[in-house]
Amino acid sequence: MRLALAEAEKATLTGDVPVGAVVLAADGTTVLARACNEREATGDPTAHAEVLAVRRAAEATGEWRLTGCTLVVTLEPCVMCAGAIVQSRLDRVVYAATDPKAGAAGSLWDLVRDRRLNHRPEVVAGVLPAPAAALLSHFFRPPAP
């Protein structure tokens, strides 16, 4: 999670919401890909940290199926990212802060564990939530007068 938090901090340099993600190989230690939000930097509405990390991991492995891999992300994935997680066949998702307004891994929706889907990754929530929440709170805090 600390690697994902470091990625999240990079997002603020381009005015992006500080969310970071890392994809770990099946061994649980090898980093296949890392990313931060790049929507503002690229003008791409799909450039969420999770989607970018999943794309980069697929490129690194040469496979679209990321079976055995783990996505570590600083904020609970949204519906778009949850869809990418299911479609890429990740085995698990580990996230820090919950997102009560748009979360799709247990708080608002639980898309990743929907029994109607053909793949349901394990979800581990609340890993180092305070630092992730602090980054987000600071980013969204109105400027001092």
48 is in an annotated binding site: yes
81 is in an annotated binding site: yes
119 is in an annotated binding site: no
Pick the catalytic residue from 7, 38, 50, 76.
50
Token look-up 């349901």 returns: 120
Active site residue 40: no
CA distance 20 to 132: 9
Give CA angle at 107 (53, 11), nearest 5°.
35
CA distance 67 to 14: 32
Which residues define the annotated binding site? 48, 78, 81
Which residues define the annotated binding site for Zn(2+)? 48, 78, 81
Catalytic center residues:
50
